[in-house]
């Protein structure tokens, strides 16, 4: 019988035209190229992460999910639509601006078969001076006005720009127009989906030298012109050993915690727990063992792990299925 323990994975790295080498700051060994995304915990056809620690080392997240089911992943730990792990956890290095994009809801008829919509949130790990993001439409921009701006080549005039700093948090429900911009490194918690519709990509070529595909009609169809409930917050008021809620959606709840003294916690039968170490170092202990961690590492705690303790000096994101 396999006793539950915190699972750590080998990231799946993705080269992107906007990527760079910033994820090396977390001690990650990157392949060559412009690495934009590290899929830290993934159970998607485009990227399944493999366990690197303990008895289950070498197994994919999909295998473990199928083998241990709801006992390990929780009564809410599965997508009702496709049975997979419901979340995808990423670290993103935005060495250049991302395309202006929007994601569909689960209900959109144009979704690829078996794919989910994509609600997500960002926590900014690092931001260069003057860094910004695109976050929503300007007031009174409706479908007609946006379509006209695209056609006439001035879409940027219809979008909101927001300055960002490390520690900022952004909730991005499906239907929200958005884009990370150059000089930002973020942790992303999202639905387990790889569906993105591009509105604009600065007329730049992709990695293959050809123009990147745009999805104007799909984008115009799925945008929530009246707003989808996007929220942002500064998180400087997080207190040691207390959770500060950053985002709550039908798919995930994400909280920030500052660890400065031993912090005793516990999983529940309803959901796994995902921990993203944002900065600092520390130790994760549970009944059968302990593991040291550092910034940039991510762990999946089985729902039946029970009590565990965080110790050290670090900032942590905790995500669960609601």
The verdict on residue 20 lying in a domain is: yes
178 among the known binding-site residues? yes
Return the structure tokens found at 296: 């940039």
Give the pLDDT of the chain (322 residues) as one tens digit per residue. Answer: 899 999 999 999 999 999 999 999 999 999 999 999 999 999 999 999 999 999 999 999 999 999 999 999 999 999 988 999 999 999 999 999 999 999 999 999 999 988 999 999 999 999 999 999 999 999 999 999 999 999 999 999 999 999 999 999 999 999 999 999 999 999 999 999 999 999 999 999 999 999 999 999 999 999 999 999 999 999 999 999 999 999 999 999 999 999 999 999 999 999 999 999 999 999 999 999 999 999 999 999 999 999 999 999 999 999 999 9
Residue appearing with tokens 């591009």: 198
Q: Which residues of 65-99 are buried (b: 16+ CB within 10 A; e: fewer)?
A: beebeeebbbebbbbeebebbbbbbbbbbbbbbbb
Q: Are 132 and 74 found together in one domain? A: yes
Run of H or E residues at 152 = helix 143-152
CB 249 within 8 A of CB 171: yes
Question: Mind listing the pLDDT tens digit for each residue in 5-50?
Answer: 999 999 999 999 999 999 999 999 999 999 999 999 999 999 999 9
> pTM of the entire structure?
0.97
pLDDT of residue 212: 92
Give me the domain span that covers residue 307. 244-320
103 among the known binding-site residues? yes
CB 127 within 8 A of CB 95: no
The verdict on residue 54 lying in a domain is: yes
Domains in the chain: how many in total? 2
The verdict on residue 239 lying in a domain is: no
Residues with catalytic roles: 198
120 among the known binding-site residues? yes
Residue appearing with tokens 């006005």: 145
**Comparing C-alpha atoms, which of 189, 299, 184, 290 is closest to residue 245?**
189
Residue ending a domain, among 173, 205, 234, is 234
The verdict on residue 216 lying in a domain is: yes
The verdict on residue 65 lying in a domain is: yes
pLDDT of residue 1: 86
Q: Are 179 and 71 found together in one domain? A: yes
Q: Are 12 and 111 found together in one domain? A: yes
The verdict on residue 1 lying in a domain is: no
- CATH code for position 260: 2.60.120.10
Q: Are 261 and 224 found together in one domain? A: no
């Amino acid at each position: 019988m396999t006793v539950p323990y915190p699972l750590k994975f080998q990231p799946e790295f993705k080269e992107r035209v906007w990527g760079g080498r910033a994820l090396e700051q977390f001690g990650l060994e990157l392949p060559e190229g412009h690495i934009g995304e590290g899929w830290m915990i993934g159970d998607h056809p485009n990227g399944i992460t493999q366990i690197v620690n303990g008895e289950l080392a070498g197994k994919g997240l999909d295998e473990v999910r199928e083998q241990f089911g709801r006992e390990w992943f929780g009564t809410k730990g599965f997508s009702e639509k496709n049975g997979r792990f419901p979340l995808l956890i990423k670290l993103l290095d935005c060495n250049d601006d991302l395309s202006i994009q929007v994601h569909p809801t689960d209900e959109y008829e144009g979704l690829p078969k078996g794919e989910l919509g994509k609600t997500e949130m960002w926590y900014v790990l690092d931001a260069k001076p003057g860094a910004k993001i695109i976050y929503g439409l300007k007031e009174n921009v409706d479908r007609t006005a946006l379509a006209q701006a695209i056609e006439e080549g001035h879409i940027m005039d219809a979008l909101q720009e927001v300055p960002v700093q490390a520690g900022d948090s952004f909730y991005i429900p499906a239907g929200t127009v958005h884009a990370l911009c150059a000089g930002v490194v973020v942790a992303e918690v999202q639905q387990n989906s790889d569906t993105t519709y591009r509105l604009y990509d600065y007329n730049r070529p992709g990695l293959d030298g050809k123009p990147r595909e745009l999805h104007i009609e799909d984008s115009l169809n799925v945008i929530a012109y009246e707003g989808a409930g996007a929220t942002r917050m500064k998180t400087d008021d997080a207190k040691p050993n207390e959770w500060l809620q950053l985002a709550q959606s039908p798919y995930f709840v994400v909280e920030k915690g500052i660890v400065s003294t031993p912090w005793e916690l516990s999983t529940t039968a309803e959901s796994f727990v995902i921990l993203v170490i944002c900065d600092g170092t520390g130790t994760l202990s549970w009944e059968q063992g302990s593991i040291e961690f550092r910034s940039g590492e991510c762990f999946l705690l089985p729902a039946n792990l029970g009590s565990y303790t965080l110790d050290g000096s670090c900032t942590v994101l905790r995500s669960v299925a609601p």
